[in-house]
Amino acid sequence: MNQEEMINFIDNELFPQIKKEIKNWIYPKKQTGGYFAVTRQIFCMVDFLGAVYTGYPLSERKKDKKGRKIATSGKAIKFIIEFFEPKEAYKKDVVTKLYYMYRHGLVHLYQPKILKLSTRKRLAWFFYRGKRHMDEIKIGTDRGERVFKNINHLQVLFDKNNRNYNYLVIIIDCLYKDFEEAIKRYKHKLANTKYLQRNWRTAVNAICKPR
């Protein structure tokens, strides 16, 4: 692919798919649903974006005969850290937890994982639909109803009633909007950066290779 074909792919293939397969879930006629479906789809697409952003260099191709390193967790996390904003929300430590909890859990285990931290605490999950900041929100858990105040997207909430549990929050609407804007930033950088175009080619050529 040349530079023009790469940009056309994002505009004419990737974005239409996002709007048909993700946006309809997050903005349906009835303002419910889309929690697992939206998040799962976004992180699977981030796998692809991480692959084409980082590329598939010769040093990887030589050791990876089955193509398992074309897309990796590390590449996806790198894409999120680089292109998702605001930066204060998408820090490496939070993004790593976010990816392993929500991406791996939803793709492989139906629902997000509960993480066991080095502090022996459990980091649990919950989604909600709404604004980037909420003054107060109530959630029901298997440990009873909890009330949290001053909630922000990707904030870790501390459970005062159970010190063994914290929660990593995803605001679905924010994740989707941040995802769209991240692709636009990447597309602009791709259009003007030769090494990113080379990275794209190495990854896409490997993706298309019969195995």
- What angle (nearest 5°) sits at the alpha carbon of residue 124, between those of residues 44 and 102? 0
Partner residues linked to 200 by β-bridges:
none
Average pLDDT of adjacent 10-residue blocks, the chain of 211 residues: 91 83 67 72 94 94 89 96 96 93 84 86 84 79 72 85 83 92 97 97 93 78
Per-residue pLDDT at 197: 97
- For residue 144, the model assigns a pLDDT of 65
pLDDT number for residue 69: 93
73 and 99 in contact (C-beta within 8 Å)?
Answer: yes
pLDDT of residue 143: 60
Number of neighbours of residue 194 by Cβ within 10 angstroms: 9
